Amino acid sequence: MNRKDFLSLSTKAAMFLGISTAISCKEETVEKTSALLNKTAKGTAFGLTAPKIDKVRVGILGAGNRGNTLIQMFDWLVKNNNAEIVAVSDLRKEKTDKLNAHLQKTHGKTADAYYGNPDEWKKVADRDDIDLLIIATPWEMHTPMALYGMEKGKHVASEVPIGYTLEDCWKLVETAERTQKHCMMMENCCFNNEELWVLNMINQGVFGDLTHAEGAYIHDLRKHLMDETYYEDQWRIKHHLKKDGNFYTTHGLGPISQYMDIGRGDTFDHVVSMSSREKSLSDAAKRANLPQFQNVKCGDMNTTMIKTKLGKTIMLQFDVHSGRPYDRLNTVIGTKAVHEGYPSKLYINEEELAWWGHNWLEKEKYNEYREKYNHPLWGKLKEQISDNSVGHGGMDFVMIYRLIRCLNKGLPLDINVYDSVLWSAITPLSELSVAQNSSSIKVPDFTGGTWKNKNKTEMLRDI
């Protein structure tokens, strides 16, 4: 879609909805958004390598829920002299104290702590004795911290999403390309055992040619969102009060993108998104007598469809309002096999057509595929994963292990800046589509055309 067509469509949608053409997520104008959709990049950070770092010196920004988990994922790496925690930062002293209590108990030493002032974290990035910043703060701080860190000569690894506006995504790409610093979004689900098993099967031809996949973040977070202490200043629910779309795309989309070689021979072409009405979160707020949370803008269920340049389709769903079991779907459909997650099940498509009997594999046959195609990474790190199950069953440890070992060896990271911003950009694109009556929105090419180069995902390497 060119700029003229985009503006025409946007205007028609706005007229139909009775809204101004100046609407857009984060108060961007339609014209500005059009410019962001059509920008170009250089692609010079693909396959990025940096000099080997024998012991990666780490600064952790954010000592809340994720910071507390992630610091534990470094224990084995610190004990084996692959990494060192040099500094920690948070608004609250008691939170940095908690991280340092863990370091003292586990390693017999503490890190320098920065707290109190909202800009104290910059002192960590300003230091000359830090190689890597781990960013585990509220969403709106991810991009500013990553940008500042790269400008100060640091590699950066951020919690998800790495950016939640198109402008932020472009700034991250441009800064990573210019500074030649690693900029990784820590999408832990890409490192989970089930997802790596499916990826390995796809790579070895079990699924044939992929046609469609489905992912999701379905997680009843009503209690978490409204709790006074779980999220600092209840930052997360505030997004639900002012925006509507898919705010948490990457848990489902990250693994799917690796299944489909997105950025390595294919990429996203356009997005269509729609949200259901909102009911569950506001009802819960009423029952809890919390009037400040009763005017919710985000619908209970968002469904976003993505089509790739090669014609594959992806369905993403987002629901943290409804009372229901956790689910990421993890559905993959190919010409030879199908997988569905939660619980994991596998179907093998026999060449001879059948009238009936299209059943999932029985447990014994399923287990044979698990054993035959299990990604070697989980076997290699079995003991360490068992010791670090607090990190989402082990996938957090595998993610941090791979990040640090890549830096130790001077290798490209498993998830690069282009992956990071593309998966994150679906959030503002979904918001734009929802706001314009579910119109089709073009996906920017953050890679400068390098997505056309066919490459295997780095996740398949033995490190």
pLDDT digits (tens, 9 = 90+) for 343-397: 999 999 998 998 998 999 999 999 999 999 999 999 999 999 999 999 999 999 9
Domain of 281, CATH number, reads: 3.30.360.10
pLDDT at 3 over 60: no
12-26, 187-201, 418-432, range with the lowest pLDDT: 12-26
- Say whether both 205 and 278 belong to one domain: yes
State the average pLDDT over residues 254-274.
99
- The confidence score (pLDDT) of residue 268 equals 99
47 lies in some domain:
no
Where among 187, 204, 222 does a domain terminate?
A: 187
| Nearest residue to 414 via CA among 184, 204, 260 | 184
159 lies in some domain:
yes
* Total domains, the chain: 3
70 lies in some domain:
yes
44 lies in some domain:
no
State the average pLDDT over residues 303-329.
99
SS (H, E, C) 304-341: EEEEECCCCEEEEEEECCCCCCCECCCEEEECCEEEEC
CA distance 282 to 290: 9
DSSP-derived 3-state class of residue 17? helix
- The DSSP code sequence of 355-366 is SS---PPPHHHH
Q: How confident is the model at residue 29 (pLDDT cuts 50, 70, 90)?
A: low
State the average pLDDT over residues 230-254.
98
Taking a C-beta distance cutoff of 8 angstroms, is the pair 345, 360 a contact? yes
398 lies in some domain:
no
- The confidence score (pLDDT) of residue 33 equals 75
81 lies in some domain:
yes
CA distance 248 to 164: 10
Instruction: Look over the chain and give the mean of its residue pLDDT values, rounded to a whole number.
Output: 94
pLDDT at 425 over 60: yes
- Say whether both 179 and 195 belong to one domain: no
- The confidence score (pLDDT) of residue 15 equals 32
10-24, 257-271, 324-338, range with the lowest pLDDT: 10-24
For residue 89, count CB atoms less than 10 angstroms from its CB and return exposed for 0-12, middle for 13-18, buried for 19 or more. buried
CA distance 461 to 51: 19
CA distance 52 to 119: 30
CA distance 83 to 373: 31
Half-sphere CA count of 223, side-chain side, radius 13 A: 4
pLDDT at 31 over 90: no
- The confidence score (pLDDT) of residue 7 equals 44
- The confidence score (pLDDT) of residue 21 equals 35
Number of H helices, E strands in the chain: 18, 14
- Say whether both 13 and 89 belong to one domain: no
- Say whether both 201 and 310 belong to one domain: yes
Q: How confident is the model at residue 30 (pLDDT cuts 50, 70, 90)?
A: low
The parent domain of residue 126 ranges over 56-187
400 lies in some domain:
no
Strands 210-218 and 331-334, how do they pair? Answer: antiparallel
- Say whether both 74 and 23 belong to one domain: no
| Nearest residue to 248 via CA among 276, 215, 226 | 215
User: What is this structure's pTM?
Assistant: 0.93
390 lies in some domain:
no
- The confidence score (pLDDT) of residue 11 equals 42
